Amino acid sequence: MTDMTGWSVERLHDAYSQALRIDRVLYDSETEHQRIVVFDNATFGRVLTLDGVVQVTERDNFIYHEMLTHVPLFAHGTAARVLIIGGGDGGMAREALRHPLEQVTMVEIDAGVVEFSKQYLPGISAGAFDDPRLDLQIADGAEFVKTTAGGYDVIIVDSTDPVGPGEVLFTDHFYGHAKRALAPGGILVTQNGVPFMQGEELAGTLRAFGTLFSDASAYVAPVPTYQGGFMAFGWGTDGAARSVDEATLRARVAEKGLGFGYYTSEVHKAAFALPGYIKRLVPDPA
C-alpha cells in the first residue's frame, strides 16, 4: 500500500511508522506550538494527533491514563495534591480526579489542545474540566516547576515526545525542579515513550532520576497506538512506595470502590517486572 492519501501516517521514527485511516476529519489547525488534528478512525474511534504523532484515542487511552495515575496514587496511599504537566486532552485529570484528592493542578502549554479537546474529545476528559478541584493553568510546565511553592504528593508528566514544546520536559533541569516541587514521600512519574524504539528517552530520564531519587525505576504497559511494544513510565521517589505489597494495594482499591479497564493491584506490581531490554536502561541503585 503506497498511496497513503486518506491516512494519518506517523513519522516519529525514521524507518518505522503506523498509519490510521482517516474516516472523518473533525479539526485540523496550527497553534503557535503545534499542529492539532482530530479525526475518526473505525478501529480506535476519535484520534488526536499533535504534529502528526498519536497522542490519544478514544479506544485505548484508558490503559495509558489508568497506569500513569492509579499506580502512583494507590502506591502513595494518602495523596491530596497532584500536579499534571501537559495532559491537555483531560484524560489524566479524569482518572486522577476519581481519587478523593484536594486539588489537581494541570499545567498545559497549549490552550488550543484544551479547547478543542472539550469540543471534539469530550469522552476523554469526561467532565474533568468542570471539576472544582481542577486548577488548570496555561503555561510551560518547565517554567511552572521553577517557581511553584510545590507540596505535590504526585507529579505526572503527560507530555508529548521530546520534540517541539515537549523537549524541555525531558531535561535534568526540569526534573530537578520537579523533584523540589514534591512533598516528602512524593512520587514523580513520566511518560517515557516506547523503549524498543526510543530507549534513550527512558535511559536519559532514569539517569537523571538516579541522581535525584533513592528509588529510580520504570514500569510498563502496552498501549496499542504507541506502537513498538511496551510503553514505559519513569518512576522516581525517595519513599518506599514501590514496595507496597499487592494485598495492601488491593485493599486500597477496594476501599475506593473504583473499577478499571486495565489497572488491577496485580498488574500494578507486575508492571515493575521489566523485560531485560528495558531493565538494562534502569540505573543500579546508588
Residues annotated as catalytic (active site), given as ranges:
158
Nearest to ligand SAM of 12, 241 (CB atom)? 12
Q: Is 95 in the site for ligand SAM (CB under 6 A)?
A: no
- Residue 41: CB minimum distance to ligand SAM, A: 16
Nearest to ligand SAM of 196, 238 (CB atom)? 196
Nearest to ligand SAM of 98, 250 (CB atom)? 98
Q: Is 218 in the site for ligand SAM (CB under 6 A)?
A: no
| Total binding residues toward ligand SAM, as defined by CB under 6 A | 26
- Residue 78: CB minimum distance to ligand SAM, A: 27
Residues in the chain: 286
Round the CA-based radius of gyration of the chain to a whole number and report it. 18
Contacts of 90 (CB under 8 A, 6+ apart): 114, 117, 118, 121, 124, 125, 126, 128, 129
Q: Which of 81, 82, 34, 87 is nearest to 64 (CA)?
A: 87
Q: Is 141 in the site for ligand SAM (CB under 6 A)?
A: yes
Give the sheet arrangement for strand 53-57, strand by strand. Answer: 24-30, 35-41, 45-50, 53-57
Q: Is 104 in the site for ligand SAM (CB under 6 A)?
A: no
CB 274 within 8 A of CB 199: no
Nearest to ligand SAM of 65, 269 (CB atom)? 65
3 state SS of 159: coil
Site for ligand SAM in 40-79 (CB under 6 A): 50, 55-56, 64
- What DSSP element (H or E) covers 185? strand 182-191
- The alpha carbon dihedral of 222, 226, 230, 236 has a sign of negative
What is the CA 258 to chain-centroid distance, rounded?
20
Interface segment toward ligand SAM; rule CB under 6 A; list 15-23, 121-129, 155-163, 259-267: 155-163
**Residues 12, 113, 218, 274: which binds ligand SAM (CB under 6 A)?**
113
Residues that bind ligand SAM (CB under 6 A): 50, 55-56, 64, 85-89, 107-110, 113, 140-142, 158-161, 165-166, 168-169, 191
